[in-house]
Chain A
């Protein structure tokens, strides 16, 4: 959604928008970050440069509804719609995080007609690294 910051000199100012539209990417990577409260879907090229992104929050859901699978579905649909007319045919899917959005986003991606090559789970796993926060007992008592 945010425009990439153009790293060009003043001479090339006029040509930036045409350069952006001319990027046809036949193969890309779809990153799905599914946390408990939200789902973010980012579409990048194979090198990792972001093409477009969408999330449950930007699709109009607020609060607890962002974490639902339906929200993940709409976010994925939204993200792919922007990219489909750029001509992306094949994609890999990288799923990160626990959360209800994992399956729903995958389903939406599959239904959108993009061919999938791999589906990978890239949830980051510490080899016993940082100490996580304490158990919040007080939260459930309200």
Chain B
């Protein structure tokens, strides 16, 4: 344990100090983050190495950090410079956004992530019977929604892509979200 931390120390000496990545979110944020970066004491430089061990929660694979540091070395620490903690949902606020709209956006993101439902489920222990009931209920809801949608769209001849492709797309999306968070921020802003 001590050896590994010593190694981390040593490596962080060797690594060149990274300037904040060129593709930055709006300039105010980059200015504050850059000043933050400079005024940070040495002890925090361990953060990029250490924080990568405890990964952001929902969907990261263990490959993403090593892969990203090999393929895109300049972007390897971009994530950790901005997002040091694990989060479920993140909403980036621009200054002149209306209060209600911001709230609605946040609420929608949270609902999509299913945070509150998950919390309620985990509040009490659920035995196998209850779990089965819940799963069948959710599956029924999903199937009902899918049937309703497909019956509406059947006139338009939209072919439903097979689940393998859908899964692949989802994984790629998640991978991209991990590797290029900056792009997603910019896309969200635009």
- Which residues from chain A sit less than 8 Å from chain B, CB to CB? 26-27, 46-47, 90, 94, 97-98, 103, 106-107, 110-111, 115-123, 125-126, 131-136
- Which residues from chain B sit less than 8 Å from chain A, CB to CB? 29, 32, 36, 44, 57-58, 85-93, 95, 99, 102-103, 106-107, 109-110, 113, 115-116, 118-120, 122-126
B113→A121 contact, CB < 8 A? yes
Decide: A103 near B119, CB < 8 A? Known: A27-B32, A115-B95, A117-B29.
no
B88→A122 contact, CB < 8 A? yes
Interface of B is mostly: helix
User: Can you give 22 A-B contacts (C-beta < 8 A)?
Assistant: A26-B32, A27-B36, A46-B36, A94-B85, A97-B119, A98-B119, A110-B99, A110-B102, A117-B92, A118-B91, A119-B90, A120-B87, A120-B91, A121-B90, A121-B110, A121-B115, A125-B57, A125-B58, A131-B125, A132-B123, A133-B124, A136-B124
B-chain residues with CB within 8 Å of residue A98 when the two chains form the complex: 115-116, 119-120
Closest Cβ–Cβ distance, residue B129 to chain A (whole Å): 12
Decide: A134 near B99, CB < 8 A? Known: A121-B89, A122-B88, A125-B88.
no
| Nearest neighbor of A129 in chain B, beta-carbon distance | B122
A-chain residues with CB within 8 Å of residue B115 when the two chains form the complex: 98, 121, 123, 125
Q: Of A117, A125, A133, which is within 8 A of B93 by CB?
A: A117
Top 3 A-B residue pairs of the complex, sorted by shortest distance between their CB atoms: A121-B89, A98-B119, A120-B87
A-chain residues with CB within 8 Å of residue B95 when the two chains form the complex: 115
| Nearest neighbor of B100 in chain A, beta-carbon distance | A107
A107→B119 contact, CB < 8 A? no
A107→B32 contact, CB < 8 A? no
A94 to B106, CA, bound (A): 12
Q: Of B89, B99, B123, B125, which is within 8 A of A111 by CB?
A: B99
B-chain residues with CB within 8 Å of residue A26 when the two chains form the complex: 32
| Nearest neighbor of B86 in chain A, beta-carbon distance | A122
A-chain residues with CB within 8 Å of residue B113 when the two chains form the complex: 121
Closest Cβ–Cβ distance, residue A15 to chain B (whole Å): 22
A-chain residues with CB within 8 Å of residue B119 when the two chains form the complex: 97-98, 123
Closest Cβ–Cβ distance, residue B118 to chain A (whole Å): 6
A132→B88 contact, CB < 8 A? no
B32→A125 contact, CB < 8 A? no
Decide: A119 near B99, CB < 8 A? Known: A132-B122, A132-B123.
no
B125→A132 contact, CB < 8 A? yes
A97 to B58, CA, bound (A): 16
A103 to B100, CA, bound (A): 10
